[in-house]
Structure 1
Amino acid sequence: MNAGPSGFHNAPVTKGIVLACGLASVLIGTQGGARALSLSYQKFVQKQQLWRLLTSPWVFSSTPEVLFGLYLVYFFRVFERQIGSNKYLFYVFFSTTTSTILEVAALAVIRDPTALTGIFLTPGPYGLIFASFVPFFFDIPISTRLKFLGARFSDKSFVYLAGLQLLLSSWTQSLVPGVCGLLAGLLYKSNILGIRKVKFPEGLASAATRLFTPLLSSNSTLPTTVRGAAPNGRLLEHRFAPSAPPVSAQSEVHITTLMAMGFDRSDALQALAAARNDVALATNLLLESQLR
């Protein structure tokens, strides 16, 4: 599976998360300060340290967690490209908030009154990361299969292995946030109360572009990243001329594959029509149009 064009093209919210979590983890987490920001029943409930709700989801506590965690956040930028930055920003808010609430509930259940410090949970954006595994499992198709030492793998297997490494990095302390993130992802997937249609105002999503573009170059522009549309729509319309033979029955699998790579659905349809439903040729046409 391909996560789409390299870099943070059409993914300003993901860019902000990667930079913020990366810098905070390097400055605080890997220096031993993450423990002071983690959630625990004694510190949160008994000492009323509510500020932990805001700090805990954004700092990894160790170098391996930083590497695997930021890789997964970066890889899942494909979902921001699919639904647009406005909806993705709300998805980040919903998955993080819901996961944090579930973590607090879990701490209340598994608390140990006899312990001096109590059980604490590993900090980091576990809610966002593991919530993203839900659409990754249900919505992203397998494009490549391989066999190694008698075992069968797909191109998605390596993403699952990275998630498993992160999930078990601190045993129970990381397992609980990971499971809470999966539950948050399932709630969003269920579309309860039409939650998947909710999006933040354009100003909030576009703020990520204005804030982080000077720190890390990107080809994305404000209007296209906010709408989640392909930046070269007009060029595509010109390149894929109407005279191209129409495809009698578009393959939904091919369309989903191209959208997973970050392309707009209408552009994917035009490219497949021009390529006579050849997904490889359609991908080349779309990539070439972006380079013009």
Structure 2
Amino acid sequence: MKAGFEGAPVSFLLFVTTLSISFLSYFNFFGKDFFISTTSSRYRPWTVLTTQLCQASISQTVYSLLLIYFFRVLERRWSSQVFFNYHLVVFITTTLFSFLVVRLSGSFLSLVSSHTVFLIYFYLEVLPIMKINFTVFKVSDNVFVYFSYVMIVLNNFKSSPFYIVIGLIAFFITSFKPINTLFVSFSSSKLQKLFQCVNSFQTPFTFVQTDKTQRRQLEGDFLDEMRLAQQNGRQQTTPPQQQNIQPNREQLIQQVMDCGFSREQATFALNNTNNDIEAALAFLLDNANY
């Protein structure tokens, strides 16, 4: 699995909500005292931090997500001796903290463990080395990133059954491979259709000027289609005795606007091409950054 949130499938993010519901109930049931005693025996300060994060506010949650994402990207880019040195420093720091954590008062402990800086200790000390087993699921350190912080978000909406339903649905989706494959392929096809629909609304003014030869070909085809459409429109709507009459200024502007441009663009292009509609269209296509 990739480090960080980049490339994480939606189905997997939904699946971890099921684990989040279970862990949320587990943490809230035992409370702070249980994890303080556990930390004292195991010398693992991350358990105390997890308890505090269950009670985090929305702002703390959002900031924590950004912080964790930053360090996951940092690990991907610095997966070398440089990042290992950070782990070494953090390991020493967290060892000292685990020795002192049980000697702190409850209020001071809550303040320290919920501090933003300590989130760095939690991330760097736990995630690269930790492997845990939850019932029949083997959860790696990367997975722990997801359900830990989804758990924090869900804690603010724990009274709503909506998230439980989502978690159960996601559980069945990700547990059975045929269903998982069907779900991923279905969602991919729907997203592809959505992007195609969005692209269909783009005007010629939004052409990306990467290949000049291809762009010129598109411009030529576009002008030919517009010229043919204008000729057909004149023949259908204009009496034969009036076909040689030149359109007025407003009609020219409207014809350019019918091609997908704004009124300001049409007016500017006609002013620079002496009211020649074909030259105006070519001008707009050549100046796509206008």
Give the alignment's TM-score, normalised by structure 1: 0.29
Structure having the larger proportion of residues in helix: 2
